[in-house]
A and B are shown apart, each in its own frame.
Chain A
Amino acid sequence: RSGGGFEMGSEADGGGAVRAVHEGTGAVHIVVGAPGGPGESRDPGVPGGPGGPRDPGDPSNPGIEGEAGAASGGVPTLTVPFPSPMEAEIAHRFLTPNARLRGPVQKELSVNGSVLTVRWRAEDPRLLRISIISFLDQLSLVMRTMRRFGPPVSR
């Protein structure tokens, strides 16, 4: 598996999972269409699907059925590793104020060590796609800014 490519998960791998892997700082993992427990059916009218344990963000969880992509009830998740916890925290803090806008798409950002995680909640796949793209644009801008005007001064 080389860097810089997209990888479509196979059926056995939990069909419908899409992974983007890039080399270098800020490699980004996108999982779209949250995996559910085995046997869980994807019914677009029922958020969360009937029963079954949820494990958002884990691409290796097998047993996804139904449609790929952001059907309602999916929790698309983005994870971004940073070189240090401080930078992850900075990214988290200055992307958060925009995240809290009301609307059909909601984002939830969290930081764990050096990794920033974003979870989306949206009914409409098109709005979700716009939100993800726009978020990636902002993230890219933040990272360019950090690279050019960082590192953060000591406090």
Chain B
Amino acid sequence: MPAVLGFEGSANKIGVGVVRDGTVLANPRRTYVTPPGTGFLPGDTARHHRAVILDLLQEALTEAGLTSQDIDCIAYTKGPGMGAPLVSVAVVARTVAQLWNKPLLGVNHCIGHIEMGRLITGATSPTVLYVSGGNTQVIAYSEHRYRIFGETIDIAVGNCLDRFARVLKISNDPSPGYNIEQMAKRGKKLVELPYTVKGMDVSFSGILSFIEDAAQRMLATGECTPEDLCFSLQETVFAMLVEITERAMAHCGSQEALIVGGVGCNLRLQEMMETMCQERGARLFATDERFCIDNGAMIAQAGWEMFRAGHRTPLSDSGITQRYRTDEVEVTWRD
């Protein structure tokens, strides 16, 4: 019955979680929120994480009702993500692993999302749409790898939404995506935006430049409201995501779809995916904001799977890496 402690801090969320045998015992998290019109920079984000991580660790242990000796393994995000925040978190993970004499496990952040999605929803072998501020991938499991079927060829969908929020100076609290979603509900007019699906892949940098430019013009002339732009952006980018997910599902003959990642909290995206799934006779799975947004327990859960399958990360290999493809990991814990 291994209990695993997981550390996550690859972007502006820092979380420490405890998982034992498929139960989440603790999952506290803090978010580094910057003023409207700004984004988060690596150095400042790392500083935020360093300031709160030890308190979070204590909180996690207390909430789980465990002592350091009850923990069997320390998992941390090896990558992908932003360098300085990843390093700050890895340093603490390594330190406590040494202090408590526990094995260490470097986890791929994307796989953390997938494994938590599978655990929480019970989906057996879904086509996964992983969408967040840093990543946009369509993934399916095959022969010991999480294979990437389609992805963004430039920026992530969440990054597109976050940067658009900056242009309109939308608040980053609790997250820019959440506030865009609320504004979009009040939008009435669909503004035509470039739709960029390229085969199995998508591209968002073009739509971002277009809408950044259009926003200035159209808001000045009163041609549309900020709510209309939020609505139009969501409708367009989400339709693109639904298309590439459907394409992958058709290739795999898959009857299950799972959405993970921070953008997966968006109810409009879930609604559009649900419509597509119903049309195909497939089932849609999604998690709530506790687990779609970056959190420590998802790293602990992936770590738990890896630990039981015998993976270990030696200290000499326990660095971080900003680029870490989902398909680089050998998924020995599944058939």
Report Cα–Cα, A142/B95, bound state, in Å.
7
Interface residue ranges, A against B (CB under 8 Å): 90, 93-98, 100-101, 134, 137-138, 140-142, 144-146, 148-153, 155
Given the contacts A90-B99, A141-B50, A153-B99, A97 and B318 also touching, CB distance less than 8 Å: yes
Set of chain A residues within 8 Å of B101, measured between Cβ atoms: 152-153, 155
Q: Contacts A97-B316, A145-B54; is A138 near B96 (CB within 8 Å)?
A: no
Per CB-CB distance, the 8 closest pairs between chain A and chain B, nearest first, are A94-B94, A97-B319, A145-B95, A90-B98, A152-B99, A97-B318, A141-B50, A94-B95
Contacts of B87 in A (CB 8 A): 98, 138
Which one of A140, A141, A153 has the highest number of Cβ atoms from chain B below 10 Å of its Cβ?
A141
In the assembled complex, the Cα of A137 lies from the Cα of B316 at a distance in Å of: 21
Please report the C-alpha to C-alpha distance between residue A98 and residue B99 in the assembled complex, in whole angstroms: 18
The total of chain B residues at the interface (CB under 8 A) is: 29
Contact of B50 among A90, A100, A137 (CB under 8 A): A137
Report whether A94 and B57 are in contact in the complex, using a CB–CB cutoff of 8 Å.
no
Q: What is the predominant secondary structure among interface residues of chain A facing chain B?
A: helix
B68 CB–A CB distance under 8 Å: yes
Known: A90-B99, A141-B50. 10 other contacts (CB 8 A): A94-B95, A97-B318, A100-B319, A138-B87, A138-B91, A141-B88, A142-B91, A148-B58, A152-B99, A153-B99
Assess whether A94 is in contact with B91, with CB atoms less than 8 Å apart: yes
A137 to chain B, nearest CB (A): 7
Contact B315 A94, beta carbon cutoff 8 Å: yes
Instruction: Give chain B interface residues in 93-111, CB to chain A under 8 Å.
Output: 94-101
**Nearest residue, chain A, Cβ from B313:** A97
Report the separation of the CA atoms of residues A152 and B94 in the bound assembly, to the nearest whole angstrom: 13
20 A-B contact pairs sorted by A residue (CB < 8 Å): A90-B98, A93-B315, A94-B94, A94-B95, A96-B316, A97-B94, A97-B315, A98-B319, A100-B319, A101-B319, A134-B84, A138-B87, A145-B54, A145-B91, A148-B54, A149-B57, A149-B99, A153-B68, A153-B69, A155-B101
A92 CB, min distance to chain B CBs, angstroms: 10
Please indicate which of the listed interface residues B53, B99, B317, B320 has the most CB atoms of chain A within 10 Å of its own CB. Answer: B99
Quote the shortest CB–CB distance from B67 to chain A (angstroms).
11
Contacts of B50 in A (CB 8 A): 137, 140-141
Residues of B within 8 A of A146 (CB): 95, 99
Q: How far is the CA of A153 from the CA of B84 in the complex (A)?
A: 29
- In the complex the two chains form, what is the Cα distance from A81 to B53 in whole Å? 25
Q: Distance (Å) between the CB of B54 and the closest chain A CB? A: 5
Interface residues of B in 310-330 (CB under 8 A from A): 315-320
Task: Tell me the nearest residue of chain B to A141, going by C-beta.
Answer: B50
The interface residues of chain A lying within 8 Å CB-to-CB of B90 are 97-98
Report the minimum CB–CB distance from B76 to chain A (whole Å): 11
A93-B98 contact in complex given A138-B87, A141-B92, A145-B92, C-beta closer than 8 Å: yes
Residue from B96, B317, B318 in contact with A149 in the complex, judged by beta carbons closer than 8 Å: B96
Question: What's the least CB distance linking A102 to chain B, in Å?
Answer: 11
- Give B293-335 interface residues, CB cut-off 8 Å to A: 315-320
- Residue in chain B with minimal CB distance to A134: B84
CA distance in complex: A50, B318 (Å)? 39
Q: How far is the CB of B45 from chain A (nearest CB, A)?
A: 13
Residues of A within 8 A of B53 (CB): 141
* Contacting residue for A98 out of B69, B91, B95, CB 8 A: B91
Within the assembled complex, what's the spacing in Å between the Cα atoms of A145 and B99?
A: 9
Bound: A145/B68 CA distance, A: 13
B91 touches A95 (CB 8 A): yes
Distance in Å from the Cβ of A145 to the closest Cβ of chain B?
4
Q: In whole angstroms, what is the CA distance A151 to B100 when docked? A: 9
Distance, CA A144 to CA B315, complexed state (A): 20
* Distance, CA A108 to CA B69, complexed state (A): 33
